Chains A and B, each alone.
Chain A
Amino acid sequence: MTAAALAFWVLAVLAVAGAIGVVTMRQPVHSALCLLASFMAVAGLFVWGRAEFLAAVQILVYAGGVMVLFLFTIMLVNVRRQAREAALNRLTGSAVLVGVLLFALVGGLLVAEARRMGGPEGAPAASAARLSTTVVEAAGKAPVEVKGNSQAVAWSLYRDYLLPFEIASVFLLVAMIGAVVLGKRTMEKFD
């Protein structure tokens, strides 16, 4: 096993373990910290895949912004413990069974597919190369080669995916409005 493969597996296990921790921890703060660990591991995976820009964004936005907001909320609302509800209910058995089946189905298919395409090592390198070097063709001009991670993301996001990006901005606006509408306490005072 090469060093790169070892790194991948360590990060992957961390990310999944963190995610499991989020849903199993009884203390909200512990869940939040597990989430942070998971985020960090994913950022590491980005680095491993040579998507340094995405890794930075992952840390800034998720580990930085989102996590801090979560922790603030937890502290402000002062939830110490989840409501006294049994962690396991009568559905747990069937849920686990269904989950395992789904995992087996999808996972098995993925493994089979990966084998068919020639192992897991080849794929990420290829996509990383695609990300770091992009040939940009503009109408009527000579193709431009874009170097570097952030530039590639920028080109992709603001050029190829401009429209979804803009729709997403309306989406965020709606999210904001929704938060205000549903969260505002004194509804009678709207006028």
Chain B
Amino acid sequence: MPFPLSDTLLILPELFLTTAGLVLLLRATAVGKAGERSIALLSVASLVVTGLLLWVPAALAGGAARPAFGGMIAVDRYSAFFKVLVLVAAAVTILFSLRFLGTSPYPSGEYYGLILFSTVGMLFMAAGTHLASIYVALELMALSQYVLAGYFKQETKSIEAAAKYFILGAFSSGILLYGLSLVYGATGTLDLAAVSQALAQGPRTPLMVVGVVLVACGLFFKIASAPFHVWAPDVYEGAPTPISAFFAVGPKLAAYAILARIFFEGFGPSAGDWSRVVAASAALTMVVGNVGALMQSNVKRMLGYSSIGHAGYALLGLLGYGTEYGLWSILIYLTAYALMNLGAFGLVVLLEAKGYAGESVDDFNGLAKKNPWAAAAMVVFLLSLAGIPPTAGFVGKYFLFSAAMKAGWVWLAILAVLMSVVSLFYYFRIARAMYLVEGEGELKWREEPAVTAAIAVCAAGTLLVGILPQPLVALARTCLLP
């Protein structure tokens, strides 16, 4: 064997999570709808255990990056960073879902099982160092999500979202796969390190350039950056809200993990090519996301567009390739992004008592009076999303914009600042609704301690990272690619 069987221990967390998903699927058939709560809590527990198990491969690798399964994946701190974020996102999503399925006629076991399997895919994405393993993991994640998007299949919006997501996802997969095949054709390998080597030695061939562009475009679809973003608002709006939260965070984290890894570790030598793709897409994405959000009255759509804008900011970090900023600014920003977006979606979940209530900005009217804590938490998330200190969003943006400036993309940094200012307008529409508009009628409110707790954790994290970012910064700096 090209690798010892003991490599299996290096994927112990993933193995555990897959097993847990299978067991919970079976268990759900036994307990039925009545046992939904226990299934959900068990899912969260298994995610927590998975997180703890991450220690095993880390200890085996002993701090250094260790390739496993013949270079298919690597156990390193970079992947560990993303794995923890992904696990948190999945756990929070499940907590959000607790009473969401509630009285609906949809089965719960498959729901949580799919979230877990999707998470497995993301974990492998974070670790993948070989284009084959990365691609298969990506598809595992994506397929679970197509199903989750259409989970409420009696809702036309939900099933429409699933169909769109699936068709366009398959389309983008085709683009990605074609790009990968071109890269293989140009370099004769799918191993990232070997690709990088081949690129460094060989000339700049048209084949490789088109391959890189196609791979970039395929991945841009996953992070919903323009012009491959068009699906995102529709899907976020149509999917069940906890799932929208999951979509806005989980897949993006994982996609950024592979995007950075492929570009930095694999396509590093052709940075001159892909940085132009990234810059063009980043500029377009920031404008489209933020201007698009200005016109939305549906909060889920607004957050969808806003997350498009954020994908654009994060792309700036990729441009920092080769400077001292670059990668870790992305890590910090994505941490902030995960916390604040999950929190904001969480409040929509709370407000969504029935049907699609809580989705209109007007549903936030007078929230400050009726539930001051929730309003205060939402303000924290909005401030952070807008990038106002002392919140996590500010710290993240600060590093990203610095990265862009350091790399010489000054006009992009200026555009990013301008778009941040624009973003304040739509974020503050929600703040205004909560604080400065009188609410009408009773507030529909989902009383669910688990959701409240998850939101509280997100809010605390957002503030903590904003006020005391240094530990995170220090951590992120140790979690870079070699």
Q: Which residues on A are within 8 Å of B, measured CB to CB?
A: 105-106, 109-110, 112-113, 116, 137-139, 159-164, 167-168, 170-171, 173-175, 177-178, 180-182, 187-188, 190-191
Contact of A163 with B73 in the complex, beta carbons under 8 Å: yes
CA distance in complex: A112, B207 (Å): 9
Interface of chain A: mostly helix, strand, loop or mixed:
helix
**Chain B residues within 8 Å of A138, by CB:** 1-2
User: Measured between alpha carbons, how far is A166 from B117 in the docked complex, in Å?
Assistant: 13
- Collect the chain B residues with CB atoms within 8 Å of residue A182's CB: 147, 150, 153, 162
Interface presence of B62 (CB below 8 A): no
Min CB gap A109→B, angstroms:
4
Q: Measuring CB to CB, which residues of chain B are less than 8 angstroms from any residue of chain A? A: 1-2, 4, 11, 18, 25, 32-34, 68-70, 72-73, 105-107, 110, 113-114, 117-118, 120-121, 124, 130, 132-133, 135-137, 139-140, 143-144, 146-147, 150-151, 153-154, 162, 178, 185-186, 205-207, 210
Min CB distance, A78 to chain B, in Å? 22
Known: A109-B210, A164-B136, A178-B114. 20 other contacts (CB 8 A): A106-B178, A106-B210, A112-B206, A139-B2, A163-B124, A164-B130, A164-B133, A164-B135, A164-B137, A167-B120, A167-B140, A171-B121, A174-B140, A174-B143, A174-B147, A177-B114, A177-B117, A178-B146, A187-B106, A191-B33
B89 to chain A, nearest CB (A): 18
Q: How far is the CA of A110 from the CA of B211 in the complex (A)?
A: 11
Least distance between B119 CB and chain A CB atoms (Å): 11
A167 proximity list for chain B (CB < 8 A): 120-121, 124, 133, 136-137, 140
Q: Which residues of A contact B33 (CB under 8 A)?
A: 190-191
User: Whole-angstrom distance from the CB of B474 to the nearest CB of chain A?
Assistant: 32
A167–B186 CA distance with the chains assembled, in angstroms: 26
Alpha-carbon gap, A177 to B257, bound state (A): 27
Chain A residue numbers with a CB within 8 Å of B135 are 164
Give A122 to B113 CA distance when docked, in angstroms: 48
Q: Is the CB of A170 within 8 A of B117?
A: yes
Q: Which residues of B are found within 8 Å of A110, using beta-carbon distances?
A: 207
Cross-chain pairs A/B with CB under 8 angstroms, 5 sampled: A113-B207, A139-B1, A162-B70, A163-B133, A182-B153
The answer for the CA separation of A160 and B194 in the assembled complex, in Å, is 15
Bound complex: CA A105 to CA B18 (Å): 42
Contact A163 B207 (CB under 8 A): no
Chain B residues with Cβ below 8 Å from A178 are: 114, 143-144, 146-147
Are the C-beta atoms of A174 and B117 separated by less than 8 Å? yes
Complex CA–CA separation, A174 to B144 (angstroms): 6
- Complex-state Cα separation, A100 to B114, whole angstroms: 39
Shortest CB distance A49–B (Å): 15
Given A162-B69, A182-B150, A182-B153, does the pair A177, B110 have CB atoms closer than 8 Å? Answer: yes
Contacts of B151 in A (CB 8 A): 181
CA distance A79 to B7 in the complex (A): 50
CB-based contact A161/B132 at 8 Å: yes
A180 vs B410: C-alpha distance in the bound complex, in angstroms?
52
A177 and B113 CA atoms in complex are apart in Å by 9
Q: Output the residue of A159, A168, A174 with the most chain B CB within 10 A.
A: A174
Q: In the complex, A6 Cα to B15 Cα: how many Å?
A: 49
